Structure 1
Amino acid sequence: MLTRLIPRYGSNSVSARTSLNRFTHSRSIIQVSEEVRHALETKQPIVALESTIISHGLPFPHNLDVARSLEAIVRENGCGCVPATMAIINGNIKVGLTPQDLQLLASPDAKVIKTSRRDFAHVVAGKLHGATTVASTMWIANQIGVHVFATGGIGGVHRGVSETMDVSADLTELGRTPVAVVCSGVKKTMGVTVATLNSNQFPAFYTRDSGIESPLTLPTEFEMAQLVKANLDLDLQSGLVIAVPIPEDKAPDAKLLQSVIEEAIQAAVSQGIHGKHVTPFILKRVAEKSKGLSLKANIALVENNARVGSRIAKHLADLYNPSSQSSRNYSTARSQSAENSRPIVIIGGTALDFTGKIDADTNPLYTSNPGIATQTLGGVGRNVAEACLRSGGNPVFVSAVGDDMVGRHCLDKLNSIGMDTTEIITSATESTAVYNAILDSKGDLVTAVADMRINKALNSVNVESLLIKFRPQLLAFDGNLDSSAMRRVLTDFKDCKSVNPRAMLCFEPTSVEKSKRLLNAMKDCSIRHIDIMVPNLMELEEMHQAGVELGLIYSAGQFKGPSKMNMWDRDIKLLQVLQLTTHLVVKNGIHGVKYFCDLGNNEVEARHFDAQAVSNMVSATGAGDTLLGVMLHVLTQTNMDFTRAIPEGMKAASLSVSSRGAVSENIKPFKL
């Protein structure tokens, strides 16, 4: 049990004494776990988590899975962040729950009371089990000095208020408790500051756009942390609402869900359900009627809010503890010793590739075809990093693997070739990525199955910290990142430009479908340009189409190129992609590589590089990744000379297509 409170943040002595007095009064019934207690004493970032979502919000066993997942996400996403799930067990208010506590709250047979501020006395006096609501979680968090709380959504003024006077206690608590609530939907009242992350539109739980303009929009988690700090320093004695739209790829059909929700509300009215029983009833009814669609969306948004909340908590801790600050400390970054500087940072996927190559041409394919099956390390980001390493580079590789046999195998293999794995995340909630490819007898890809769910863990990467710590010349990322992670890369790179003004950002699309993610991210964060794009021809066409549809590319963009150059038919049209980038490296298999550089004044440099002849082609799946990895290293060695770097990359790619592995072991270090 924690016997004293050291105020976590703020310098206001009156506020500090008030917190101490409140805690002294209540400490006999608040039990704080050793992990949370240590985090409070050492001023680590902490994220509060409620428990009503476990007992009343989700059905078993999803509730238990999500409870564990949220704690794991906070640990993975916050650079030392500690989760503090809160509940009442046998009348004791607990901060930081045991696995047994979570199991009890999740059990369908457990008698757990949904506990708001008004219910504390009853539940504690009766030595009962209670699950904390938004209001009660805020109260507990404030008592012990935790100032960031992540949840799915908070209550508002309920329908039929003129008859029922049913107004959520969450609103009252927001008006008097200085805790920042990270959520995906709420009603504004009580003079509370409301800000939306990276969107002008206020979200409405399952939908990204409620149709209401947000009172305040801030583009990054760092600026949200600054807002929280200002609120605390001013001693306003009120909370904040930090609204986070559900990730684009997780948002369900809004119209479909709205009709289901309206039906559930009518059912609640007709059955006389009111007060604190309304929300659990509606959630259950909507999940049933939507065939689980709302359940998946609900889980996705609360997990995303935990990620965002942990990053805000980390930034807030850094703002109050400059000695441990890992972000925005530009003067410290500039004075770092040269040995900490690394020229290349690569963020992307790691996977185990299973490849089946068919012995002879068969059309159509049989249900089972004789051939050779192999397994190798893969993942676009990993392939790029290995090629960079083998060519003499020393990249910082940022990726994610599961805490499983495949993940351990991947890490062992990376360590065996000398790859630095210290920035690779090990996830307790997702399995390591697997890519299963079928090749024809020539080694060309026929089809593939990709399980890349682990890559959502890359949302946790603190790009800003990486840029400041390593001060790279090049930061490359692949299309395995989702749009929200890409937005973070784009905004952090822009914000950290003062650390290294000459640094360049490079994008590898990964696949036709994933190539569009960057365009969505660029539109969302109003960043219209990155330095280098390295697509193949099909990815480039998809990016061009998406760019036009999103209003990022205008057909009026015309460039003057060398008149005698052997241009692809689509070149003139696709050159419009140069509105989004300066250096465009387009891969086209046996037809070689074309390089376009926007010189300004509507002029473009265009060069064609012939593919090298390959006598023994085994697999082309790692060729483009190899080209990019070697190209990145050579660029850092030749003052960004693309005309020298591209041929070196192509030479290495010709070795990889003759290799069973995605990246050839015969690649030699580049020499000037």
Structure 2
Amino acid sequence: MIRTPARALGSRRLTLAHTTTSARNWLRGFHMHVHPTVREALTLGKPVVALESAIVTHGMPYPRNLSVARAVEEIVRTQGAVPATVGVLDGRIHVGLGDPELRALAEREGTLKVSRRDLPYVRSQGLSGGTTVSATMIVANKAGIPVFVTGGIGGVHREGEKTLDVSADLTELGRTPVAVVSAGVKSILDIGRTLEYLETQGVCVAAFGESRDFPAFFCRKSGFQAPYHVPTEKEAAKLIAGALELGLGSGVLIAVPVPPDQAASAQEIEEAIQRALGEARVNGIVGKELTPFVLRRVNELSGGKSLESNMALIQNNARVGSRIAVALSQLQMAPGGGNDGGGRRARGAAQPAQPVVVGGINVDFIAKPKSGPLQADGQTHPGKVIQSFGGVGRNLADCLSRLGWSPLFISALGKDALSQSVLRYCSHMDMGGVAQLEGHSTATYCAVVSGSGKLTVGLGDMDVHEQITQQRVSAFEDRLLRAPLLCFDGNLPLATIRYLCDLAREHRIPVCFEPTDENEASKPFLSDSWTALTYASPNLRELRAIARALGHPGPAELPRELDAVLSVAGDLVRPLLQRLHCVVVTLGEHGVLLCGRLGSPPTVSLNPAPDEPRTPEGLFATHYPALPVPAAEIVNELGAGDSFLGGMLAGLLSGLGTGPCVGLGMLAAGFSLRSPWPISPRISTTTVNPERMRSGHWPEPRTWRID
């Protein structure tokens, strides 16, 4: 059975109390779902290419739109990048679509064409739609994706000097630092005035390939010259990196001509455009409906030649844009090559909001006897001793990093040989907040576990954790204020805990407290600091210590039988639910108990629907039985709880529902139970994801009222 003896996911608040009026916070992880594959790529600095979805919803008929979208994504992958198609489904912005979501957009009728102006309305009404160039640029920038591939951008419409009909794509390029790779400007537009408008907006425009000829979507030449010329993907990447480094705040347009063998006849296309525009005037078709109408009629009038050319140029743009993204990633990650020297993106490149974890980090020595229980007889017993790396805060940051979220980790180490081994092992994590202190020793923890992996006795030298002071942590206050989630463990000094809770309360930051053991569990509850918590994560012993700190004594002896355990947990959790919305109590081999006060069954979510049922009021509990893990496969239990919490938090940050969040936690815990390391190296977005939960038997949860 999955056993989470010391630490696993605790309380979860149902309503996110982290509101803001800024657009950046509006899109920071709460109303924007980043696909795990995209999240992992961004975390690791891999190249990602943003793709629009208006071409899926409004550019081509079904099923051709779906097949083209799939083909474009596959082209991006074959070039070494990760595709991130942007779309809106039921009011939720998605960065990266799985095949079911892509199909839903392709098949669904009545979807909207979503530009910058439409995003608030579509979000508020829970509608679905395909994002245009401007909306995709906004989302890509918020997610930290610097390269976006599309077919052709909008521009100044013909006779735009009379109608003032200018695409939002142009103004977006003037204020959003994303590189747009396109086949120039749609030939149905006034290309000369469009280039002039881009100059006014301060947009750097460069033709890609052999010449400065500016392409016109279906045609390789428009009769106009681009201001600049980049002959190769590497040169284009250098141009983009330079723009990001300058921090101008504007975009870059890379204009890629359609392949020669797929270019349409300029004269034939121009004749079809003029006829389609005339029909649009007669029928009163204007605004955002004009371009889809004209493109559709041009395709009909050209006998399908324009559609074939359209698909060819989109796929060509995907090839070129992906290679540019790969070259840009290599440039930014190279020492001294457009990054900050630490493998991070160039200044000016947008970054996704990072969770922040503040807590302990240890070098662990885990001893396991070869046979039989240990006797305190003063003798040396044969066994196996391994060195690993732990600490509750480190474990959480490690698990979240492996699951596609790269939290800033704030902690303290000594400046000694052990600290160097820690930093080498944790190189996949953001250790930018870890201080190395002269005159202090890196924390160590010695654990003796039984043959079944249970902790028998532990001994810790944790004095350096007292150096995770308020002063050190407050140096990262700007990162704390931008975090979608803050986690801290019980290793911290009381003053630091109070500081974090006060900051969370004042700025409405979701905050999770992870007790390290029964002795440290009550720290936030010795004052009113705990009322600022959004989440907590006690096991049954830690929950009893918390209840006692709040003046509610629990039983002297804790039960072991399931029914009695559930009854005691329900009694102990009531004081916390006076302020917390949801509590998850980990019960070792008995699974987890989720308790809440907003209806039956209780749920966990960082982004509950506005109309989420809130009645009947009362306290409810749902018991999730543990997944079976054969005893022979269990190596140790020390990190299972932290893996569970990391998996569940990753699900919450990704906007998953309650069941999937619990399932991700259990999958992660299962890997760590089978590993000698507290956080199994096998944990990743490939091994721990919702798709993995569809196989195997999952025990049914049970819900009841506890008040």
- TM-score bracket, shorter-length normalisation: 0.3 to 0.5
TM superposition score normalised by structure 1: 0.44
Question: Which gives a bigger RCO, structure 1 or 2 (Cα 8 Å, sep 6+)?
Answer: 2
Bigger-Rg structure (1/2): 2
